[in-house]
Structure formats: structure tokens, C-alpha cells
Amino acid sequence: MPASIDVVFTPDLLPFSDLTGKTVVVADILRATTTITFAVANGATAITPVLTPDDAFRLAADQPNTLIGGERGGMKVDGFDLGNSPREYTETVVSGWQIVLTTTNGTRTLQACRAAERVLVGSFLNLRAIVNRLAQAEGELVFACSGREGGFCTEDTVFAGACVAALAETQLTDAAEAAKILYQEHCEDLLGMLKNCYHGRSLASIGLGEDLEFCAQMDLVDVVPHLVDGRIIV
């Protein structure tokens, strides 16, 4: 069991956190970490998060058997193979392929956490698998919420709170306590929370409301993606 748990609400706060030697779980429920989780569960061999579309094009050009995925403004980038909807990353599409991914929030947060001893990728889709893995962890645990364009978002913090609530008898920071309280407020209706949060309303407004239902699914897959040498694998 972790010795302590903290929650960092936005990536802009990560520079104030020393992640050295810690386990970090990155959350971008809408939608990068949900998409990553579903992709690796469906057989994607590795996912490389990068900061910009130009980085994605450049890296993919040097790697065989590579798809490019991601978004800007919620929509697929021109020239990319895939957007950032987890529903696109089916076994038929991604099995056996590497993926280079860039998103507005999630891939930035993954990049910012590379100083940690280990970096795991969390979503509601693999909540139980994440909690089971963390229950065996030692030392300090940090949940890094991707937020929205540098700001706080409800959905990532609710996910962090769900994990905190499941990891009983662990020392919590005030931020972790707050995340747990927020989860307890929304635990009976995660889909309603996603539909009512700012980011969820934004996705629905551009025709991606079905992604909210997908991202609200609990324990759909039993994988724990982790970042190793800049690549996410199982």
C-alpha cells in the first residue's frame, strides 16, 4: 500500500511537485488516457505521446507500422489516421500497430511526469486494474490530472478520488481528501458528471457526445499501461 497519496489538479502545478522516486498515475478521462487504455487493451504494441502535430508527423515518418492519432480543439488533426475518440481504437484498427499520439491536455501531462520512478495511465475503463496495482505499490503516490488547457477539470479529479477511496488507510494530502469528496458526490452517476462538466459539454457541442458514454464505462478492460523510455506499453 502506498505510504501517502497526493493529487495534482493541473499540469501547470506539476513543476511545483518533486516526482522523483514516486509512482504517478496520469488521468485525462476526456479523453487521452481512456483512448490509450483502450488502444493497448486492443493490441496496440506501443503508444508514444508527443507534444505537437509536427512532432507526431516527424516521429511516425521514422517508424514502420505506425498510426498517428490525436486532436486539436477536440477534432482529428488533418493528415492524422485517427482522432482522440477511444471508440476509433478498436482491435481491428490498432492491433499490431504502434501509435504516435498528441492531444491538447493528456500527452502534455504524460511528458511532464517523466521524472517519476513509474508512470501509469488511468481511466474509468481500467479503474479496478489500476487500484489493484497501486495496492501493491510502496512509497509516495501522486495522481496527475491533465485538466483542460492548464485549468482544473472535474472528471480527472473524480477519477483520482475514486482511486483514493479504494485505497483505504493511507495518508492523504488535503488535495487527495478533496478528490475523494468530489468522487463521493458523483459516484452514483459518473455519466451524468461527464455530461455536466465543462469538457463534456464542449465535446457534446461538437458532436462527440457518444464519447462521454464510452469514457464513463467502469472496469471495461484489465490492463495497466505504463510509460517506459517515452513509450506506453502494457
pLDDT in tens, the chain (234 residues): 999 999 999 999 999 999 999 999 999 999 999 999 999 999 999 999 999 999 999 999 999 999 999 999 999 999 999 999 999 999 999 999 999 999 999 999 999 999 999 999 999 999 999 999 999 999 999 999 999 998 999 999 999 999 999 998 899 999 999 999 999 999 999 999 999 999 999 999 999 999 999 999 999 999 999 999 999 999
| CATH superfamily, domain at 4-233 | ComB-like (3.90.1560.10)
pLDDT of residue 169: 82
Q: Is 92 left (phi over 0), alpha (psi -120 to 50) or beta?
A: alpha
pLDDT of residue 170: 92
Residue 18 and residue 184 in contact, taking contact as beta carbons nearer than 8 Å: no
Radius of gyration of the chain (CA): 16
CA distance 101 to 103: 7
CA distance 130 to 107: 19
C-alpha cell at 10: 493541473
Angstrom CA distances, 177 to 126, 164, 188, stand at 22, 8, 18
Domain boundaries, the chain: 4-233
Residue 205 and residue 214 in contact, taking contact as beta carbons nearer than 8 Å: no
Phi, psi of 223 (to 5 degrees): -135, 155
